[in-house]
Structure 1
């Protein structure tokens, strides 16, 4: 549910806009309000769970997420919807920062790898299935049911947690003994991450040189620098022990967490705009076509444990990331007159690559730290997932919009018969995939020519961001080969095995 709610909203945005009279900027915040709070609170949530217990933090997170889903579903205005989405992000951070640590505490060895693989497969499938589920709900019911359907599922999760899940008392005691909650570090981390995320979200909308955008990015970077300095001073008492970055596999896991979201969820909104806008598919039809990426994830991800037995983990990560890159490169060749099937090989490769890379990635950081630091390690790694999503959506979106602006220049639109006063509206409609509204607002004589130019501009924009994301993926593959090392995992695994032998 936590991952699903990042992507499920995308296909419902036109209906939200019509129902709540929302503008493009409002819709961007409907998507990014969730990601903003999610990214900012993951790290302190993991630290809190190491001290007060993962089970209670998880339960509070699910309860907050449930209430926020109710607010979103019943929202009378777009402001209420954005507020509900932000509160959902708070609940999501509390849940995701503890879920992986709970799993890591309940299993050891190969059983842990299998459990983390199942957890990761569910998250990957949910992210990819979001457009399909959103399309089914929007076409069959109403956009509000995207949020209402969370309520019974959340209730079952709470009941299951109360009945079946127990806290690892030894890990909790080790994590909290003699350590105070790091208030200064929490404030610096939350404020810094909020500032960076806000700047990344506001940049494409307000302009990258606007005072508010620059202040957010610079201020966020300064605060994060202050956070690093403060945590270094605290050493063993730190919310995030900076010394862990000296473990190459830990640093590699953090970098790949960022890269993998940039090349997957950072690109996904623009694939949806191409399918729904340029090709004119309905929300349900768009979701069905993205099954080309979803089905490989669901088929390959459960085999993660087997794949890791056949190859070293660094090779697994490099191969998976490189496959995503190859898939993105194939999308560069999609033209304005091509059907969606032209993208089919690329979508399949992206799904297979994602299914290979995400399961081991989720466990890398946890496997190279002591058990009492699992919540902190999980929170830090997971922080870079939404940060990568926000960065990908923002930076790739800026490039996407700029390419559309170049393709629909004032000179070309004037030649096609579009009045000067309407040209900005045309470019904005194309960038948001609103081709139906665009057609309705054009003079009949100019309609066909403008729509043809619009499809070309949007497809060119998609090709450009796929090329850049493909290059980022290949850099990620090199990072995996250089930084991730099997012996880093053994440093934690060997003492665990020795302890088990001693107990026996």
Structure 2
């Protein structure tokens, strides 16, 4: 008789799942690195190698990335609830394989757009799944900390890769050397996801069996057995906390999408060399990534709502500082503040979704929230491109500042505190 090794029963908590959690943090850093390798380089590639003019046309690759990633987020949530988390994670990395090669070999801008469609699928499937897997592992008490660590790894890697790709572009040219980073990231991620990652859906089932309604009755209108249409409506429109989080996430990534396509051009028109422009662009996700190590855990202690409102307000002030004509030092201060405001918002919004959504449909709720959030990439690209073409680069940044202020007002008025009341 052949004896099979016993699979340990799932246990919730960060300490109990430290090894798998650390592995998933590493995988998400590689997901972020895939974005960072191209952020500094592609806007310059558009103008210098392909001779593109018109900001709207240049931003098409950001829009293609954002729309594709948003759609992939939805399928990531639905498929991970139905078939498990690990197969979706692995599929996401398979879509990344051609991306660096397409960017290296691209004979025209259409190849760049196609590569960003594949990158959007990779990001939607892989990043959404690592979010859900970490929420599964840690349980309800440490969601903010878990999301802070997850997002810090992802966007810290965006910053490091942006800085490194900008340096390599300045030293060795725009192609092919900066995009060799992506080949390394993909190979390592496939190894980690395919060989070492473990399925976490059992942890979600464990939490679901132990799930109890809040004593204050605030979630009594939500049930365990919602269908996909009901989950979409609750997350998008009806449930005050979930829908407010979706709006705030959309505006938050609108700022990121706009800065992704616009910032390198804004800094280049001021005469900054590529290396300095890369440093400025890396500063935003660097502060954003490192800040989340603090803000995620902080939301577990002081609550979610006011941290989100304050973060959106800080982004408003930062965008106003960037929009005003400035020097390297002034832009550095503005981008650092923008990163700090985003750090206050990003992991906290994901924690809100984890607080409110039932474990039975949490994967789908996270996916739908990330649909709206990542449509912000496309919205930022379209808004930034059209506004910059009509009124100039600075006007596009002012428009984003106004939208950030509006989102802060909506969250303050509509969202309730979602952090479960502490016992004892």
TM bucket, shorter chain: 0.7 to 0.9
Q: 1:15 aligns with which of 41, 45, 66?
A: 45
Q: Distance in 1 between matches of 2:74 and 2:230?
A: 8
**Alignment of 1:252 onto 2:244:** yes
Superposition deviation, residue 2 in structure 1 = 3.8
Residue correspondence of structure 1 range 42-81 to structure 2 within 5 A: 42-81=73-112
Q: 1:36 aligns with which of 57, 64, 67?
A: 67
How many residues get paired? 374
Superposition deviation, residue 165 in structure 1 = 2.5
Q: Map Cα deviations across residues 303-330 of structure 1 (whole Å, 9 max, x no partner).
A: 1244325532101111111111111223
Q: 2:348 aligns with which of 360, 365, 368?
A: 360
Higher helix share: 1
> Partner of 2:256 in structure 1?
264
> Partner of 1:490 in structure 2?
420
Q: Distance in 2 between matches of 1:402 and 1:395?
A: 11
Query: With structure 1 as the length reference, what TM-score do the two structures score?
Result: 0.66
* Secondary structure in structure 2 of the residue aligned to 1:167: coil
> Partner of 1:203 in structure 2?
none
Residue correspondence of structure 1 range 328-339 to structure 2 within 5 A: 328-334=319-325, 338-339=326-327
Are residues 56 and 239 of structure 1, via their aligned partners in 2, closer, same or farther at CA, if it must alter by over 3 Å? Answer: farther
> Partner of 1:158 in structure 2?
190
Query: With structure 2 as the length reference, what TM-score do the two structures score?
Result: 0.78
Q: 1:474 aligns with which of 379, 395, 405?
A: 405
Note the residue ranges of structure 2 that are not aligned, 5 or more in a row.
1-29, 207-224
Between 15-24 and 466-475, report the one with greater CA deviation. 15-24
Superposition deviation, residue 9 in structure 1 = 2.9
**Alignment of 1:125 onto 2:156:** yes
CA RMSD of aligned residues (A): 3.1
Q: 1:307 aligns with which of 298, 302, 306?
A: 298
Q: Map Cα deviations across residues 108-129 of structure 1 (whole Å, 9 max, x no partner).
A: 1343322211111123334455
Superposition deviation, residue 380 in structure 1 = 0.9
Residue correspondence of structure 1 range 208-247 to structure 2 within 5 A: 236=227, 238=229, 240-244=231-235, 245-247=237-239
Note the residue ranges of structure 1 that are not aligned, 5 or more in a row.
175-233, 405-460, 498-504
Are residues 465 and 81 of structure 1, via their aligned partners in 2, closer, same or farther at CA, if it must alter by over 3 Å? Answer: closer
Q: Is the 8 Å Cα contact of residues 85 and 201 (structure 2) preserved in structure 1?
A: no
Q: 2:333 aligns with which of 338, 345, 352?
A: 345
Q: Distance in 1 between matches of 2:230 and 2:38?
A: 33
* Secondary structure in structure 2 of the residue aligned to 1:252: helix
Superposition deviation, residue 143 in structure 1 = 2.7
Q: Distance in 2 between matches of 1:344 and 1:81?
A: 29
Superposition deviation, residue 268 in structure 1 = 4.3
Q: Is the 8 Å Cα contact of residues 47 and 239 (structure 1) preserved in structure 2?
A: no
Superposition deviation, residue 79 in structure 1 = 3.2
Q: Is the 8 Å Cα contact of residues 139 and 283 (structure 1) preserved in structure 2?
A: yes
Superposition deviation, residue 7 in structure 1 = 5.5
